[in-house]
Every structure is written in C-alpha cells, then in structure tokens.
Amino acid sequence: MVVLMGVSVTSCLKGDDNTEVQAYTVAKVTDNMFAYVSFLDISGYKMISKNIVTELSNVNSGDFIYMLYTYDRKTDVDPNSQTINITVNAAQKISGNSVNGITEEMDADETYASDKPVIEISDEYSKPLMFDNYNLVIPIQYYAKENIDKHKFSLVYYTDKLKGKEENAGLTLYLRHQSEETGESLRYFSYRTFDLKEVLSAYKEEYGSFPANIIIQIEKNSLSNGEIPTKTTPVSFEYKYNDKL
C-alpha cells in the first residue's frame, strides 16, 4: 500500500469537478453488524460502511484496521454529526500485536528475539504516533517474499528498566520482527497498532507521571540480506496524555 502522510490522505478522483474522494486511513472499529462496519478515525469522524466488507467479517469492536475507501464529499459527509458514509475498497486488520513486559535478562530468550530486521519505521511521510492515549500506530517498512501474513511484529519493554539510557529518556520500547518466510526480497509497507495501556500505567506507577517521550528501538537494516544489526536505532516522538479522552 501507498506510504501515507501521517495516517490519512485524501485525493479527488477524475479532476477538480468530481466530488468523489479516495482516501487511506487507520481507523478503530466501533461496530460490526454482518460485515457492515462502523469506524472512528483519528480526527474524531465516525465512518459507516455502505457496503459489506467481507475481509473484515471477523473484526470486533476495538480492533484497528487500515483501509482504502471512497466517498462523495457533497452527499456522504455530515459535518454536524461528524459522520461520513463510505465505500470500503480494501481493508486489513492491523491490531492484535503483542506487547511483552519482560526483564532485560529474559530478553536473551529467543522467544522475544527477532529473526528479521526492519528497513525503517519513520520517514518524511509517515511517523509513529498515538491514535489515542493508549494505542500506538507504527508505520513499518520491511522485506517480505510474498505473504505479509507470515510476518509478525511485537513490542518488548523491560519491567526493570522502563526508561532508556539517554538523558531525559522516556518510555523505551523494542520492536521485534519475526518471519515464517525465507528469501525475502520485496519491500513492503504496512501499519501495525499496539496497545500500550499496561506499560504506560506501569511507567506512571514507577515514576509518578506519564512519559514525555516514547522511544522505539528498532533493528534497522536497509539491505535485504536478513541480517539483524548488533546495535539498535532509536526513533523518538513526543507523548502527551489527554485526560479528556
């Protein structure tokens, strides 16, 4: 799928006079009634599918998805209720990724180790961000062969060392990538979401406040040789807890 700016992008189809809009976004499922699905996007708009979305027949309320959709900006948008009626053209569930709290000593266990690196999780178009207070959205570029479902991503945090080593470091997370494929050579991009409620609550209990920053340590290798680097690369972004959410 196309790399996005933030987590949402829109474009008008067939020229400026056409009112049909095509967009990509990450959204949270709020209801699923016989594959007619309702969503909430990061800006607070409610989206309601006009069509049956068979690939989302098994998603539940609270799941996150990444989708391509279309709508008519004149007839499908109700700004008063902040509702958009959409046609979902393609969708993929991106939640359900594990977040594991372990000690630093336990991290030597292969259970939590990567067997493949990632290319990048941040560039000029798309960066990690929080969908809400607890759900982290990470755009991940990586190599695969032909089946992205055989690639699993998880986050690890150290229960005995929630902060990183850097001065004024915030919550530190470690991204792990495991693959059931071999010979990966094609570059892929996708989003993944991670529920950080448990680790953020642990951080606040330990330090008395939520972190000002979240640092994601990645095993970055832009080559397709599958080698995992010995040193990780930090990617940091600002975190602000919103008590109104």
- Domain borders along the chain are 8-93, 98-238
Of residues 71 and 12, more confidence is placed in: 71
Q: Which of 94, 93, 87 is nearest to 22 (CA)?
A: 87
Q: Both tokens of residue 28?
A: 């949270």
Residue 3 scores a pLDDT above 70: no
Q: Which amino acid is at 99?
A: V
CA distances from 243 to 73, 133, 134, 148, 214 (A): 32, 8, 12, 36, 18
Is the pLDDT reported for residue 118 higher than 60? Answer: yes
What amino acid occupies position 208? Answer: G
Q: Is the pLDDT of residue 133 over 90?
A: yes
Paired strand residues for 238:
213
Percent of the chain beyond pLDDT 70?
Answer: 91
Class of CATH domain 8-93: mainly beta
Mean per-residue pLDDT for 161-176?
A: 84
- The dihedral built from the CA positions of residue 74, 80, 86 and 91, taken in this order, carries a sign that is positive
Residues 86, 21: Cα–Cα separation, whole Å: 10
The CA-CA-CA angle for residues 222, 224, 226, to 5°, reads 100
Q: Report pLDDT digits (tens) over 31-68.
A: 998 778 999 999 889 999 999 998 898 899 999 999 99
| Total residue length of the chain | 245
For the cut 80, the answer to whether the pLDDT of residue 124 exceeds it is no
pLDDT of residue 5: 36
Q: Residue 116: pLDDT band by 50, 70, 90 thresholds?
A: very high
Residue 8 in this model has a pLDDT that exceeds 60: no
CA 243 to chain centre: 22
CATH number of 98-238: 2.60.40.3220
Q: What are phi and psi of 182, to 5 degrees?
A: -130, 155
Q: How far apart are CA 149 and CA 244, in angstroms?
A: 36
Average pLDDT, the chain: 90
Q: Please state, in angstroms and rounded to a whole number, the distance separating the CA atoms of residues 231 and 29.
A: 37
Residue 174's nearest CA partner among 119, 100, 241, 240 is 100
Query: What pLDDT, on a 0 to 100 scale, did the predictor assign at position 4?
Result: 38
Of residues 175 and 161, the one with the higher pLDDT is 175
Q: Under DSSP, is residue 103 helix (H, G, I), strand (E, B) or coil?
A: coil
- Say whether pLDDT at 159 is over 70: yes
Res 108 pLDDT > 50: yes
pLDDT for 155: 98
SS3 224: coil
